[in-house]
Structure 1
């Protein structure tokens, strides 16, 4: 589970105030950016997130863990990929997509984006089930 401490962005030079971004917001941005990458079948969460989704609540941060550090944010993302894709290329695309989305939307400092490939999804055709 992510820490409850929010990310502090640098204060504006005109001193309008402080901007804080919740780790849950970072999880959602990273999760949505990862699902947009071609070759990603799904994000993989734990048992608790699967139960929550079955009860009807969509969890866009599923499979994403955010850790706050002094050097920036560290993101751990767990995915299942489609069969036949290049795992290293898709993993790099996930890292790049998350980095760009977070830079564009939050401008936070990123320490690391670690991609964990937990499975491969084989295509199920109607012919194979017959």
Structure 2
């Protein structure tokens, strides 16, 4: 069964825990309408983040990355200037689209690299 294949990438669960403990708001942005529920059932990422932006519900309903409208919906919903938001994704096209709307984008290349990028930006966690 597909759900048994889901797992946290090495180092990600502790990193998410540290970011949440430091008070950062963490939100998921997913194009996977049905699978996000399976991921939640298996891994319980909602312990660290909110499923705020999913293409099948909420402010991103009917929208998908890398559309400009999807990122604009995120900015509007979070009520922050886009330059205050950091978008992390493993697809370059999605990171480029986020940056085009004014968000700070990080191409995910592993938990260690992500932590380094966040620290380089001055985040303390």
TM-score w.r.t. structure 2 length?
Answer: 0.26
- Of structures 1 and 2, the one with the larger relative CO (CA 8 A, separation 6+) is 1
Q: Which of the two has greater strand per residue?
A: 1
For the pair shown, the structure with the greater C-alpha radius of gyration is 1
Q: Which of the two has greater helix per residue?
A: 2
